[in-house]
Amino acid sequence: MLELPRPRKSKKQSNRTDRYRAWAEINLSHLKHNVEELKRRLPKDCRIMAVVKANAYGHGSVPIAQKLQSIGINSYAVAEVSEGIALRKAGIQGEILILGFTSPWQFADLCRYDLTQTVLNADYAMTLNQYGKKIKVHVKIDTGMGRLGENVDQVERILSIYRQPHLIVTGTYSHFSVPDSDLKEDIAFTNEQINRFYRLVHVIQSNGFDTGRLHLQSSYGILHYPHLRCDMARPGIALYGAIDVVKDNDESSVSLLPVLSLRARVIMVKRVPAGSSIGYGRLYRTTQDSIIATVSIGYADGIPRCLFEQGGHVLVKGQRVAIAGNICMDQMMIDVTHVEHVEEGDIVTLIGQDGDCRITAEEVAVRCHTIPNEWLTGIGSRVDRVYVN
């Protein structure tokens, strides 16, 4: 018969950082390392524009931007105006580019907080210009992504953007759609995006207009097309080390470190007999007398419910343990039968290192048929962010 571990004494618990129910450890030294690695891969005169949208991919936009500013980064990209305002109010200096749509009723904030707006197309440029005050902008060109930007073939419409008297163009850019693919047809498509962009840049400049700083590469663009003639590159997920990196065995290879680890605590341990069902739907059944631990994190904190169905694991005391049953809103259960002396208060690692074992954001994303970007940005506001060096 399995014995249930004795509860810890409160004095012992007080020696640990048990103030957190669930928390993400953000390693700022790893962030600095990743910036240096990406810079090393790029041409020396190519600057980093750090993408810190969506709360810096779940890492905390203000602390991340503050760290980046302290190591010399002075360009940032966010999705919308409120994200830019939050950075300005936190004292972040330099250029802050709004990548998405800004409503005309927010144009005053662009000026008030010295934010740079993306021009989505020629019609949007006219709307911005009609505001009647000088607004800094980057012009977005659609070279094949099919999302935002004036189509690269619409040369006259694009030139009309640069003629708007109240728009101060400080940059021109585009976005790749398949820079991570090694398929021959996708590589050809990306190269055509590159060629289309530079042909257009030549036309714009030949007409006497200043394109400002040019930028094309996001994270995978930096990894797979590092030597483009650009003034800036826009790493997002690569900054946070949650990306498959290039393994090319030469001096241009890059080694990125994960910035975020996600942890929670065991809040209850119980012994159950063989044949017991665990969780909603009774989908997990014990095949032997077992020890089940309940953990203080759930899908409201961003843990994908499908993780159980896809055979997901967590780490406890340096060992992989199976998720036991459907993940609940605020808790999840794990089967710790084979782990010795699991007790209330023990740390459970969902992303990160524990002893010799490691679970990466990429592993969880692949298991759940998604990408690390979605998984990390879904980590909820109830999860405390703890910044460490």
The token pair at 22 is 């669930």
Among 207, 240, 273, identify where a domain stops: 240
Q: What is the pLDDT of residue 2?
A: 52
Both 267 and 196 in one domain: the answer is no
Beta carbons of 89 and 114 less than 8 angstroms apart: no
Among 186, 210, 240, identify where a domain stops: 240
Both 284 and 187 in one domain: the answer is no
DSSP E strand stretches across 152-273: 167-173, 213-215, 232-233, 260-272
Residue 142 exposure: Cα atoms within 13 Å on the Cβ side: 15
The token pair at 101 is 């749509």
Q: What is the pLDDT of residue 253?
A: 76
CA pair distance 59, 312, nearest whole angstrom: 23
Question: pTM for this one?
Answer: 0.91
**Residue 76 falls within a domain, yes or no?**
yes
CA pair distance 213, 231, nearest whole angstrom: 5
The token pair at 322 is 């199976």
Q: What is the CATH number of the domain that holds 299?
A: 2.40.37.10
Among 178, 206, 240, identify where a domain stops: 240
Both 55 and 196 in one domain: the answer is yes
Strand 384-388 to 22-27 pairing? parallel
The reply, when asked if residue 147 is annotated as ligand binding, is: yes
Both 187 and 225 in one domain: the answer is yes
Instruction: Considering only CA atoms, give the Rg of the chain.
Output: 24
Residue 334 DSSP label: E
**Residue 246 falls within a domain, yes or no?**
no
**Residue 317 falls within a domain, yes or no?**
yes
Both 367 and 288 in one domain: the answer is yes
**Residue 4 falls within a domain, yes or no?**
no
Both 51 and 183 in one domain: the answer is yes
**Residue 249 falls within a domain, yes or no?**
no
* Catalytic-role residue among 39, 53, 67, 140: 53
**Residue 250 falls within a domain, yes or no?**
no
DSSP of 347-359, one letter per residue?
EEEEEEEETTEEE
Q: What is the pLDDT of residue 254?
A: 83
**Residue 248 falls within a domain, yes or no?**
no
Cβ neighbours, 10 Å, residue 330 = 14
Walk along the chain (389 residues) in steps of 10 and give the mean pLDDT of each run: 48 54 97 97 96 97 98 97 98 98 97 98 98 98 97 98 98 97 96 97 98 97 94 97 65 83 97 95 94 97 94 96 96 96 96 96 94 94 94
One-letter amino acid of 220? Y
Both 150 and 267 in one domain: the answer is no
Q: What is the pLDDT of residue 19?
A: 83
Both 292 and 231 in one domain: the answer is no
Active site residue 53: yes
Q: What is the pLDDT of residue 243?
A: 87
Q: Which domain holds residue 98?
A: 28-240
Both 194 and 230 in one domain: the answer is yes
Active site residue 184: no
Q: In the beta sheet, which residues pair with residue 266? A: 295
Both 231 and 335 in one domain: the answer is no
Q: What is the pLDDT of residue 40?
A: 94
The reply, when asked if residue 329 is annotated as ligand binding, is: yes
> How many independent structural domains does the chain possess?
2
Q: What is the pLDDT of residue 179?
A: 95
Distance of CA 284 to the CA centre of its chain: 32
Both 223 and 129 in one domain: the answer is yes
Beta carbons of 323 and 308 less than 8 angstroms apart: yes
Residue 319 exposure: Cα atoms within 13 Å on the Cβ side: 13
Both 45 and 130 in one domain: the answer is yes
Q: What is the CATH number of the domain that holds 55?
A: 3.20.20.10
